[in-house]
Amino acid sequence: MPKGDSTGVPTQESLLAFLLDTPPFQELGRASLESVLGNISTQRFAAGELVLQAGQSQVSHLLVIYEGKVRLFLPGGDGSEAMEETRGPGETIGALGIFRESLSNLNVEAEDDTLCLLIPRDEFLHLIERSARFSQFYLKYLSEHYVGKALSELRRPKATVPSEGALYLFSAQVGDLVRRRPEKIQSDQPIQAAAAQLTRGRVGALLATDSMGEVVGVVTDRDLRKVVTEGLNHQAPVSAVMSSPVHTIGFHTICFDALLEMLRLKVHHLAIERRGKIDGIVSGHDLMVAQGSSPFYLLREILNADKFDEIYDLSRRVPLVVRSLIYEGARPGNITRMITLLNDYILERVLTLLQLETGPPPVPYCWLLMGSEGRKEQTFRTDQDNGLLYADSQDPEQAKRSEEYFAAFTAQAIEHLVACGFPRCPGDMMASNPLWRQPYTKWKALFDRWIYKPEPKEVLYATIFFDFRSGHGEFSLGERLRDHLAREVRGQEVFLRLLAKDALTTPTPLTMFRNFVLEKKGEHKNKIDLKTKGLVPFVDFARVLSLAHGIKETNTLERLQLLGEGGHISPELTTEAVQAYEFQMQLRLMHQQRLYEEGLPPNNYLDPTELSDLERHTLKDAFAVTNELKAALKEQFRLNLG
């Protein structure tokens, strides 16, 4: 640590009062804090003094700011700075460096005369081990600040880093991008006038209004280029080329969520709404400029692909988007949402091109996504789990044509998806299997049989198929089936108890002495199966309780949050489950990313010796949460009674 002036040291009583009022130290209690005060020293830093230097300072202490203020920033090779943040009294410095046993990732400089409390690394880790609540605070910290690789990535030559730092897209609000009021034009004005206004105002879009001044559409420079290429009349009204309705998004929406919304709606502009009024316009270009990179390019190419070979090539670029999201510090839920969106568009393009080849189907259909695809929890390439639901036919001849058409259609679709990098399901849970390619009434009867006459095989099927969502085609068919399932399963105690019992069968991967339970043989010997042993208990818990309480959402994190909001599980268990699940997902994504970069196929087997001490400790805490989930299931379904 650098030397500092030690004058003006607060008394032990003052330090104790300060820590008792500072989270998470207040969780330790007076007696515990009194026992460690003797190991805490203080250090004063003058304004402008460097507290830690990026890539040089070994982080040997946790620094707690007692008074004053520091700024954290990333120095550039050309003398520039990427401003990260400032921290003041009660906030800490150095936790990430201690967790990762690494040098400081950032420069830390005192902005004012600053006094810090210095807690030795070993003492800090000892406090982590002694207090569950103290540990949980830093579990959340670790899951939200896992940015070591992102900061290393920033040091490589690349596009200019936004002043707000690498996490801009995941922290800034769309309102932060508004620099001016939106330009407007009446929808009955000629297209030529709109072109002139776009040029004069140096903007990419105009809001079109009606005679009452209400916004009815948006016209962009892209629309005007279409006027030229298609030879349209320049004097035609703006309403002839504008996009309508205008999709809006809240002023305080996070930029990443705005990006997802654009991808979902397949639009390039969103109107920003504030207090019921349109306050600005945000475009995909704005987000790309703000962040420096974006999956928009990949999406555009997927949507424009008109050959299967092109889609195959584009699908192999999805991991590159995942890589950038991981290195930019995105939360696991955001990463899997982005993977899901891109994979959904790949599926949509494959099936659209295939339908152009095979001709229109005899009846409407809905492609169903099951398993991790249905839960929107895909990581790197996962096996296919899908089915096909199509409308009933009263005419026997039409029913036969439907069966023949969809048999050929699904067989080809599966092959195309394999070529895109989505492996076949080893258990043949795919739409090409006639068992999972049925008209609506047969799917309904199948679900009813599993619910009302459950056997072990039916319970297994339910854990896969009841996480379904609509992936392509006539979504209303899938929604009807989801509504039917939600109605029928509520109150079916026998089925729900069997599903709950099945959720209890996966043992907690910890011994009674809190050691990891490792694979005993095979190529993954002495490793942890993070998916089956770690994540599946959370998935199973969220599924059975969501079915029991009529929650139609399929994503595990959203299920957990809705269960908490509905009072079906305690706020404490909700927080613990969400944090433990996210932490494991973070480890899984980082592990698979490393394998991908090494040219190895991604898997879920983690070597605990490759983790830092704190990561191992935190993973044990995350595994231990499964015992709380099991206890909650036993209580809700009275499994302790029989």
Residues 506 and 379 in one domain: no
User: Which range among 109-113, 167-171, 540-544 shows the weakest confidence by mean pLDDT?
Assistant: 167-171
Planar angle of CA 221, 224, 229, nearest 5 degrees:
125
- For residues 248 and 300, the model is more confident at 248
Of the pLDDT bands very low, low, confident and very high (cuts 50, 70, 90), residue 2 is very low
- For residues 314 and 230, the model is more confident at 314
Residues 105 and 191 in one domain: no
Residues 154 and 81 in one domain: yes
Task: Answer with the one of 249, 270, 291 that is the final residue of a domain.
Answer: 291
Residues 286 and 305 in one domain: no
Residue 340 has pLDDT above 70, yes or no: yes
- Which of the residue ranges 6-20, 288-302, 374-388 has the most confident prediction, judged by mean pLDDT? 374-388
Residue 541 has pLDDT above 90, yes or no: yes
483 in a structural domain: no
Query: What was the pLDDT predicted at 567?
Result: 94
Residue 548 has pLDDT above 90, yes or no: yes
Q: Please state the rounded mean pLDDT for residues 456-475.
A: 90
Residues 504 and 630 in one domain: yes
Residue 201 has pLDDT above 50, yes or no: yes
Locate 426 and state its tokens.
Answer: 């080893």
134 in a structural domain: yes
- Which of the residue ranges 5-9, 459-463, 570-574 has the most confident prediction, judged by mean pLDDT? 570-574
Strands annotated E in 309-397: 365-369, 386-390
Strands annotated E in 104-143: 107-110, 114-120
pLDDT in tens, 117-172: 999 999 998 888 788 778 777 765 554 443 333 333 333 333 333 333 334 566 56
Query: What was the pLDDT predicted at 554?
Result: 94
Average pLDDT along the chain = 84
Query: What was the pLDDT predicted at 3?
Result: 40
Residues 86 and 65 in one domain: yes
- Distance between CA atoms of 115 and 521, rounded to whole angstroms? 54
pLDDT in tens, 401-434: 999 999 999 999 999 999 998 999 999 999 999 9
Burial of 577 (0-12, 13-18, 19+ CB in 10 A): buried
Residue 491 has pLDDT above 80, yes or no: yes
Residues 6+ apart with CB under 8 A from 631: none
5 in a structural domain: no
- Distance between CA atoms of 139 and 133, rounded to whole angstroms? 10
pTM exceeds 0.75 for this model = no
Residues 283 and 332 in one domain: no
Query: What was the pLDDT predicted at 76?
Result: 61
- Which of the residue ranges 507-511, 561-565, 612-616 has the most confident prediction, judged by mean pLDDT? 561-565
Return the closest-CA partner of residue 472 out of 345, 603, 592, 342: 345
Of the pLDDT bands very low, low, confident and very high (cuts 50, 70, 90), residue 562 is very high
Query: What CATH number does the domain containing 199 carry?
Result: 3.10.580.10
Query: What was the pLDDT predicted at 460?
Result: 86
Query: What was the pLDDT predicted at 4?
Result: 41
Residue 203 has pLDDT above 90, yes or no: no
Locate 211 and state its tokens.
Answer: 């005679």
6 in a structural domain: no
Residues 319 and 414 in one domain: yes
Of the pLDDT bands very low, low, confident and very high (cuts 50, 70, 90), residue 328 is low
Which amino acid, one-letter code, is at 322?
A: V
- For residues 596 and 372, the model is more confident at 372
462 in a structural domain: no
Planar angle of CA 144, 150, 156, nearest 5 degrees:
170
Query: What was the pLDDT predicted at 7?
Result: 52
Residues 310 and 260 in one domain: no
Alpha carbon distances (Å) from 378 to 281, 326, 515: 32, 14, 29
Number of domains in the chain: 4
Query: What CATH number does the domain containing 393 carry?
Result: 3.30.460.10
Of the pLDDT bands very low, low, confident and very high (cuts 50, 70, 90), residue 563 is very high
Query: What was the pLDDT predicted at 614?
Result: 76
Q: Please state the rounded mean pLDDT for residues 249-267.
A: 81
Residues 286 and 301 in one domain: no
Residues 6+ apart with CB under 8 A from 429: 370, 371, 384, 385, 386, 387, 436, 464
Task: Answer with the one of 276, 291, 306 that is the final residue of a domain.
Answer: 291
Range of the domain at 226: 169-291
Residue 406 in contact with residue 586, Cβ under 8 Å? no
Task: Answer with the one of 159, 187, 210 that is the final residue of a domain.
Answer: 159
Q: Please state the rounded mean pLDDT for residues 574-580.
A: 92
Residues 152 and 193 in one domain: no
Residues 6+ apart with CB under 8 A from 93: 51, 52, 62, 63, 65, 70, 72, 87, 108, 116
Q: Please state the rounded mean pLDDT for residues 584-608.
A: 86
User: Which range among 33-42, 462-471, 594-603 shows the weakest confidence by mean pLDDT?
Assistant: 594-603
611 in a structural domain: yes
User: Which range among 116-125, 264-273, 447-456 shows the weakest confidence by mean pLDDT?
Assistant: 264-273
Size (the chain), residues: 642
- Distance between CA atoms of 306 and 20, rounded to whole angstroms? 64
490 in a structural domain: no
279 in a structural domain: yes
- Which of the residue ranges 158-167, 230-239, 406-415, 628-637 has the most confident prediction, judged by mean pLDDT? 406-415
Alpha carbon distances (Å) from 13 to 9, 10, 16, 27, 481: 12, 8, 5, 18, 65
Query: What was the pLDDT predicted at 159?
Result: 33
pLDDT in tens, 71-93: 888 776 555 565 567 888 988 99
Residues 19 and 151 in one domain: yes
Query: What CATH number does the domain containing 21 carry?
Result: 2.60.120.10
Q: Please state the rounded mean pLDDT for residues 57-74.
A: 90
Beta sheet of 437-439, edge-to-edge order: 437-439, 386-390, 365-369, 469-473
- Distance between CA atoms of 9 and 349, rounded to whole angstroms? 67
Query: What CATH number does the domain containing 632 carry?
Result: 1.20.120
Q: What percent of the chain has pLDDT over 90?
A: 41
